[in-house]
Amino acid sequence: MSIFDPAIHRVQRVLCFGAHPDDLDFGASGTVATWTAAGVEVQYCIMTDGDAGGFDARSTEEIIAMRHAEQRAAAALVGVDTVHFLGEADGFLEPNHRVMKQVVALIRGLRPDVVLVMHPERNWERIQRSHPDHMACGEAVTRAIYPAVENPFSYPELLEEGLAAYKLPWLWLYGAPSERENHRVDITEVFDLKLAALRQHLSQHPDVQAMEAYVRAQSVEQGAKAGFAPGALAEAFHVVAVNAADTIAGF
């Protein structure tokens, strides 16, 4: 049984993190589309510029501009208007305090019900899911969420900027090892939007048909694992209750 019941746990604001442009579109854009269709405010934060990705010869500045444009276009298709870029170098992301402070500021500013981010654990079933930037993204956000986001003594300069401490209710992690998956979302009705969002990242897909076939197969597999109707499509997450009704926490 899932830890998260959408009939009980109300979601109004969500902040989503990815290491690179296109990570969120692979891992969670179907779920994002279901949220925005229901009136949920969703914002994206992309930690690197994706400047080490692509298959043609361009300058770094051209790659960054292209990948920012691709991500903004993909986000718009699933109802996301705000995309933050932290500007870290692709392949060099670290869960350091420079990154964590920016994460804390974004979370305190939006005060979301859910933070959604890449999983910080290595996935040995498919190591490509465990790009070092992916794990660093997940680790930076997880470290920031507890205790820094809710500790007023962490990054005290943020208090001076009006960013008060905040207790986050939920952490959703995507790209999780299968043994960690504990919640799935039916994305059947919005799957075409997910594919449309992925198609915006044309610089990353030398074989679009193969990419789409893979994404569909993965979504069918997750729908079956969830016990949804035959042929239903789903995305899977490792959901963690950060501050639940019975949480006893302190720093």
DSSP-derived 3-state class of residue 42: strand
Give the global pTM: 0.95
116-134 per-position pLDDT tens digit: 999 999 988 888 878 999 9
- Residue 249 vs residues 68, 119, 182: alpha-carbon distances, Å: 38, 22, 23
What is the arithmetic mean of pLDDT over 67-95?
97
What confidence score (pLDDT) does residue 113 get? 98
- Phi, psi for residue 120 in degrees, rounded to 5: -80, -5
What's the whole-number mean pLDDT along residues 215-229?
97
Q: What is the pLDDT of residues 160-181, one digit of tens each?
A: 999 999 999 999 999 999 999 9
The rounded percent of the chain whose pLDDT value lies above 70 is: 96
Structural tokens at position 209: 């048909």
Q: How far is CA 211 from CA 116, 184, 195, 205, 226, in A?
A: 23, 21, 9, 7, 23
CA 228 to chain centre: 23
Q: What domains can be seen in the chain, in order of their start residue?
A: 13-241 (3.40.50.10320)
pLDDT of residue 53: 64
Residue 220 Ramachandran class (φ > 0 left, ψ -120 to 50 alpha, else beta) = alpha
Structure confidence at residue 212 (pLDDT):
95
Q: What pLDDT, on the 0 to 100 scale, is given for residue 250?
A: 54
